[in-house]
Structure 1
Amino acid sequence: MPISPASSAFPTGTILGYPRIGRRRELKKAVEAFWSGAMSAGELETVAAGLRQATRDRLVDLGFGRTDSSIPESFSYYDQVLDTIVAVGAIPTRFAELVAADGTLDLTGYFTLARGEGENLPLEMTKWFDSNYHYLVPEIGPETVFSLASDRIVREFVEAKAAGFLTRPQLVGPVTFLLLSKASDEAPAGFSPLSRLNDLLPVYAALLTRLADAGAEWVQLDEPGLVSESIDVPRADTLAAVASAYGVLGQHRIRPGLFVAAPYGSLDDALPVLAATAVEAIGLDLVRGSVPLAVPGLAEKTLVAGVIDGHNIWRGDLAGAFEIVQSVRALSDSVSVCTSTSLLHVPHDVRDEKSLPAALVSWLAFADQKVIQVATLARGLTAGRAAIAGPLADAAAALAARSTAPGVHDGSVRARAAALTDSDFRRGNYADRLSAQDAALQLPALPTTTIGSFPQTADIRRARARFLKGTLAAQDYRNLMRAEIGRVVALQEEIGLDVIVHGEPERNDMVQYFAENLDGFAVTENGWVQSYGSRCTRPSILWGDVSRPTPITVDWSVYAQSLTAKPVKGMLTGPVTILAWSFVRDDQPLGETARQVSLALRDEIGDLEAAGIKIVQVDEPALRELLPLKKKNHADYLDWSVGSFRLATAGVADETQIHTHLCYSEFGVVIEAIRNLDADVTSIEAARSRMEVVREIEAGGFDHGIGAGIYDIHSPRVPSVEELTALLDTALESIPERQVWVNPDCGLKTRGYDETVHSLHNMLAATRVVRERRGAVVGV
């Protein structure tokens, strides 16, 4: 029999992770300074160590213990999956020269995997389950040699211990790591990364031994892959992998206690499999899932009840959460309180928001407030409900006040939504629309465009900041933005793009800009959340019924159109993406909220069309992101998400061309939904995945326009004409020329002008090469 490695009880209250970018985005700034050469690796390490220490200190101040493993070590310089790739030595062969003789990778090499270098493409990036966080996709093949190549997780635990903290190291679990991997370029057809599990487990076992030797009492292995039915691996294979992985690791004699966390949904059939292994603690997401039935072996586990929503910012029903925790006690005598997911998805502290209305603030809980909620419920577990009666009553009062607050319900908005009929969701026949648009637009074969935004310079950001502070007059700000639009339009004319955008200099963020101009939303000052790497966003707060008081984008688009004879695209963010990238009210179904947003956008599109804008792009990059992880919920989601897009776009004439944009998601499972959007042109990410998606499009029989995103804007590298030509050729092998548009894979806001201009010139050069080779002419 193995020795039980858990030398102490699991903490009564904990979280699955904490924001790691810094309260004022200190990590983002330091990482970008390192990239630019303004900061050394040692200086970056110092900044990161300071942020880790500040997090530990903060969590103790909020009610967690210093030496009870309640504080997770969840820091990352870029991405937790990338950290695991580096830890287990799963470096793709194209980056082999970055690896030192002892198998290690320095910080420069670490970031090169994420950002690419020269001809070496970066790791593919896609969405982390149903969140707006992006992870880097491991590439695993028969040639991958797993080894314990980085001990950073051990060093950070030792760092904490030296400062007087006994923390809980955190790592992506082995099953989820392989489920999220793709087959490497060297792998044979049909290869499954999960087949390498037995080769990977010794590395995890070695790491567990190193952590135990360092004094770790618990380790957290994140296994969200176990709750998802959207991963393209047979469920039986996943369950067998769970049994194998935790059978092996559970029997390993020299290790910390194993806490397997399963956020973003319910474990369902994976729960009895986990319960049959020797893991000591199992994390249950009881916000997305429900209290499970008793299964054999569960009574011997510590059940970590994820009852505080880590995915949203509402204060919620604290008394209801406490009752759920109490009900879990029927399954096990050992119960702890936790967040449902990592707090990576929410901002640091609502007390940093000085401009939000006091009533709204009383309804909210950011990361720090959620830690306090966990600590409160943990106290109730040990001392009884009476000990926390005050906080429970305060939360109930805030919830009641929210339900009756002005603006939460707007009768006119609800009446308009209730009056909709089927005809409000339908456009004319696509073939008729295509003919009308060809005649109206007169575009060449393989028309070129961009996704919308152009680089936002420091001057633009400073002007916006001055305008918001009141130190720049409104007319002066308007003149500066118009000047930038003029420059961007002239640049696109010079490059040779066929469809022009105004560049969006006036927009701070593709969702926040609309939130600032729609009723029912609020925006934050410091509510930063990591999206990927150093990229941070400030999700808006959708708290009430939504309507559009005045036009939002029309003046800017009309001004851009006045500067060119080429068609200018009006640029809007779609209803699903506005919901996905905001913190959305949780007191009504998402579909109901989406319909309200759609009606506001429908009004905006109508005004753009009336003003002479012939092309309108309604971006929906989050369509796949919100797809539920459980298949039983797919149909309802696809019904309201597709319906909301169609409601927004169906009011225009045949001659008006509707575009949409999707990025960084696996499209195969929603290809029918993309078709049902009925957009005239859909632009997609294709470069990082090396055109994998076009084969899915071909297999799905998609017959509308497709914008093949051949220029990867999430990397600073400039793709060559030859590379872009090859990608375009690959697209045309699967998609008829009539359907293909040429564009970057996403907006250019985060890039610099030099690399952007160079890359766009190369994109146009590649397009000309292919046009000439294929004899493409205007109207063909």
Structure 2
Amino acid sequence: MVSSSVLGFPRMGGNRELKKATEAYWGGKSSVESLVETGKTLRAAHWKIQKDAGAGTIASNDFSFYDHVLDHIQLFNAVPERYRKYGLPAIDEFFAMGRGLQRPATETGPAVDVPALEMVKWFDSNYHYVRPTLQDNQTFSLAADPKPVREFNEAKALGITTRPVLVGPVSFLHLGKPDRGQSVLPITLLDKLLPVYVELLKQLKAAGAETVQIDEPVLVLDLPKETKAAFKPAYDLFAAQGDAIPKITLATYFGDIVHNIEILNDVKSVAAVHVDLVRNPEQLETVAGALAPGQVLSAGVVDGRNIWKTNYQKAIATVEKAVQLLGADRVVVATSSSLLHTPHTLASEKKLPAEVADWFSFASEKAVEVVVIAKAVTEGAESVRAELDANAASMNSRATSARTNDPAVKERQAKVTPEMYNRLAPFETRISGQQAHLNLPLFPTTTIGSFPQTKEIRVARQKFTKGDITTEEYERFIEKEIELVVKEQEALDLDVLVHGEPERNDMVQYFGERLTGYVFTTFGWVQSYGSRCVRPPIVVGDISRPLPMTVKESKYAASITKKAMKGMLTGPITCLRWSFPRDDVHQSVQAEQLALALRDEVIDLEAAGIHVIQVDEPALREGLPLRSGKEREAYLDWAVKAFRLATTGVQNNTQIHSHFCYSEFQDFFHAIAALDADVLSIENSKSDAKLLRVFEDEAYPRHIGPGVYDIHSPRVPSEQEIVDRVEEMLKWLKPEQLWINPDCGLKTRQWPETRAALDNMIKATKQFRAKYSKA
């Protein structure tokens, strides 16, 4: 019999209950008891959804108040001393690592000032994890009342036997890094970490867990020999425990493991191996052939990363092929990965066009899909005939819908010429004209684009959306907000201003709403990091721009200041990657359509007098194929072309900026340079300046603004802290090419901390101007 499995479920709740509860706790508006109770309620609800769907295996310990990797840092007592020393309650220590903590001394405790740990993208997804940060003398021990055991028992008390999920020991260490000033190679700490895993696994078995899911997603990467060699001792030790620990399902996702197939010989003792057959279906035969006798294949055929209905015909064929290779008792139908990356349920969406809604499947619906596929394979197609017929009708509706195809867009794409990818002159010529036109000082200062989205802005937007205020009233409100932001920047003495983006709900959704080919959900929220949720637009058809999207607001902002005003756009790759893209058309085609739409916008901004235009591409790194080789180079080729197509239609004295956050681009720096942007701004403050080290080997000719402080934390950096960061930047960069800016946009911050941080940034900058003007 073929069974079914869900690798993990979204955490936030159908109405973002977790976001609201955590932010209320951070703001001192609710108690820790209230927060804990919200978590308990959500976990129970999510387990019930999966049980009611009929899922054979349901995950536990997939829930987190911030991030599952951060959970493991605390679980293994791998918390750096700078957080431990304050004696914070466990939940406050946890949040301090995730988002930083800065508060004055109180009667009950000392002053606290500690930045967050580094946060990076989870493989090629838009989810961010907190990176384990390890010491040369690192030790590990199991936390009292371990979270995986506690949550397993919690489900058990509800009558639901779950499969606890753990980040595997090899992946945990491989994804970690040495702390600043330390030199340890994290994987060499394996012998210290493994006994803690064994202790945890024994406690889970004692609690009644018969199986456990150990995630080793690093198996889809190109691994160094030290990491490859770590699997055998780790899983040999687990095998040596015999029945004292649960049976193990080793899970991989987001790629294939064929290039690491020999490692399956090192994990022969695990009961099952999970692979992602959505991302890489061609690995099925190789993986099946490498399994040990009796070892089960967990076949990930339901997409955990996108919102399209599973094509039952194709998925069933894949599972039946696996059954032919292994036998029905050795195959499990599963989601390709955790459903963390999908919205909660389609049932909440009342405003989607019926035709389009019929094409979608969110987390709750995907839990049903794995069950239907398993039943079809086990009991035959007739046992689920109604479901199969409805699914086939949905597939046909989408394939033949007029929504998906626009002949005019295809015709325009066919007319793109090689000349359209190039600026009129090289950077050396452009920059001299830009300097003369913009008249900027040494170490120009700017921000990345957005300013705080206050409660007043959100309320006004809601009123406008509901029709409670007129278009004219809303536009007047937006103009007043722009005036406020411009005045604030002038008072701070920033050099290149922005309009603050008060009219924008999200940096991708805002543009999607003004383009053809997109649709939008009401409750399709997905966790990005911590309490930060995004509502990705969905690309359903060919994309074009009917009208200008940002020109009116940028032109107005420029009219009320004498300083340079920067137009703000989201780039084609980010618009694509931070949407749910089509799966029936190659992403390069969708990126080119977006680029042409943005090209029109860039040209219109220049015509409106905006001569600094930022086209953000924070998702460029995220879209990079996980392994080096032809696939990666092909991606970089079309991604770079899309950016250049969007930005090269302007004159030489218009300065093109681009922004990258959490972009470890050392391994594809040639592509960043090939974008030919005049100014880059990058996340840098939490990376220990490692991004800057690329400049030791690369003579980057253009201008760059490495972020000088972390905007994801409410913590305000001191002037001296920023001075120290700029001093470090100048080890790799020339003064004449260095811009000073925060790490990212300021949308999620509050005004008091924003003013204080930018004021310190400006003061620090003026120190360097004074110093270098005398040189």
Report TM bin, short chain.
Answer: over 0.9
Tell me by how many angstroms 1:296 deviates.
4.5
Tell me by how many angstroms 1:122 deviates.
1.0
Cα distance in 2 between the residues matched to 1:753 and 1:698 = 37
SS of alignment partner, residue 352 of structure 2: coil
Tell me by how many angstroms 1:669 deviates.
1.3
Aligned counterpart, 2:79: 91
Cα distance in 2 between the residues matched to 1:750 and 1:571 = 17
1:589-668 pair list within 5 angstroms: 589-632=586-629, 633-668=631-666
Cα distance in 2 between the residues matched to 1:399 and 1:111 = 44
2:230 to 231, 241, 244: 241
Task: Check whether the contact 1:298–1:331 (CA below 8 A) recurs between aligned residues.
Answer: no
Task: Check whether the contact 2:60–2:152 (CA below 8 A) recurs between aligned residues.
Answer: no
Distance 1:186 1:433, change over 3 A: closer
SS of alignment partner, residue 329 of structure 1: helix
2:182 to 176, 180, 187: 187
Tell me by how many angstroms 1:70 deviates.
3.2
Task: Check whether the contact 1:698–1:735 (CA below 8 A) recurs between aligned residues.
Answer: no
Cα distance in 1 between the residues matched to 2:696 and 2:576 = 30
1:732-743 pair list within 5 angstroms: 732-743=730-741
Task: Check whether the contact 1:15–1:72 (CA below 8 A) recurs between aligned residues.
Answer: no
Cα distance in 2 between the residues matched to 1:675 and 1:368 = 43
Cα distance in 2 between the residues matched to 1:547 and 1:186 = 50
Aligned counterpart, 1:327: 321
Aligned counterpart, 1:265: 255
SS of alignment partner, residue 734 of structure 1: coil
Structure 1 residues not aligned, in runs of 5+: 1-8
Cα distance in 2 between the residues matched to 1:776 and 1:715 = 35
Aligned counterpart, 1:563: 560
Q: Deviations over 1:724-771 (max 9, x none)?
A: 010011111111111110001100000000000000000001101111
Aligned counterpart, 1:165: 160
Cα distance in 1 between the residues matched to 2:460 and 2:695 = 43
1:218 to 196, 205, 211: 211
1:679 to 671, 674, 677: 677
1:486-497 pair list within 5 angstroms: 486-497=483-494
Distance 1:469 1:545, change over 3 A: same
Task: Check whether the contact 1:219–1:257 (CA below 8 A) recurs between aligned residues.
Answer: yes
Q: Deviations over 1:238-265 (max 9, x none)?
A: 2211222112123223111101110101
1:697 to 692, 695, 698: 695
Cα distance in 2 between the residues matched to 1:752 and 1:665 = 25
Structure 2 residues not aligned, in runs of 5+: 103-112
Tell me by how many angstroms 1:98 deviates.
4.5
Say whether residues 1:361 and 2:357 are aligned partners.
Answer: yes
Tell me by how many angstroms 1:12 deviates.
1.0
Q: What is the one-letter code of the residue matched to 1:218?
A: T
Cα distance in 2 between the residues matched to 1:173 and 1:165 = 24
Cα distance in 1 between the residues matched to 2:10 and 2:520 = 19
Moved more, 383-392 or 394-403: 383-392
Q: Deviations over 1:152-209 (max 9, x none)?
A: 1111111111111111111111111111101112423xx3101111111111111000
Cα distance in 1 between the residues matched to 2:358 and 2:124 = 27
Q: What is the one-letter code of the residue matched to 1:116?
A: G
1:143 to 137, 147, 153: 137
Aligned counterpart, 2:458: 461
Task: Check whether the contact 2:447–2:497 (CA below 8 A) recurs between aligned residues.
Answer: yes
Tell me by how many angstroms 1:776 deviates.
6.8
SS of alignment partner, residue 404 of structure 2: coil
Aligned counterpart, 2:91: 107
Task: Check whether the contact 1:59–1:71 (CA below 8 A) recurs between aligned residues.
Answer: no
Moved more, 556-565 or 119-128: 119-128
Aligned counterpart, 1:77: 65
SS of alignment partner, residue 724 of structure 1: helix
Cα distance in 2 between the residues matched to 1:699 and 1:120 = 32
Cα distance in 1 between the residues matched to 2:761 and 2:639 = 33
Aligned counterpart, 1:5: none
SS of alignment partner, residue 343 of structure 2: coil
Q: What is the one-letter code of the residue matched to 1:169?
A: P
Q: What is the one-letter code of the residue matched to 1:372?
A: V
Aligned counterpart, 2:106: none
Aligned counterpart, 2:440: 443
Distance 1:485 1:319, change over 3 A: same
Q: Percent identity?
A: 46
Matched residues, number: 755
2:28 to 23, 27, 37: 37
Distance 1:356 1:297, change over 3 A: closer
Tell me by how many angstroms 1:351 deviates.
1.8
SS of alignment partner, residue 306 of structure 1: strand
SS of alignment partner, residue 356 of structure 1: coil
Tell me by how many angstroms 1:99 deviates.
5.5
Tell me by how many angstroms 1:117 deviates.
2.5
2:341 to 328, 331, 345: 345
Q: What is the one-letter code of the residue matched to 2:512?
A: A
Tell me by how many angstroms 1:48 deviates.
0.5
Cα distance in 1 between the residues matched to 2:774 and 2:530 = 40
Q: What is the one-letter code of the residue matched to 1:410?
A: D
Say whether residues 1:156 and 2:142 are aligned partners.
Answer: no
Cα distance in 2 between the residues matched to 1:740 and 1:70 = 51
Aligned counterpart, 1:477: 474
Moved more, 685-694 or 550-559: 685-694
Aligned counterpart, 1:298: 292
Cα distance in 2 between the residues matched to 1:522 and 1:201 = 47
Tell me by how many angstroms 1:275 deviates.
4.5
SS of alignment partner, residue 559 of structure 1: helix
Cα distance in 1 between the residues matched to 2:681 and 2:555 = 23
Distance 1:147 1:609, change over 3 A: same
Tell me by how many angstroms 1:63 deviates.
1.9
1:424 to 410, 420, 439: 420
Cα distance in 1 between the residues matched to 2:647 and 2:291 = 53
Cα distance in 1 between the residues matched to 2:194 and 2:368 = 36
Tell me by how many angstroms 1:298 deviates.
3.3
Tell me by how many angstroms 1:443 deviates.
0.2
Aligned counterpart, 2:527: 530
Aligned counterpart, 1:511: 508
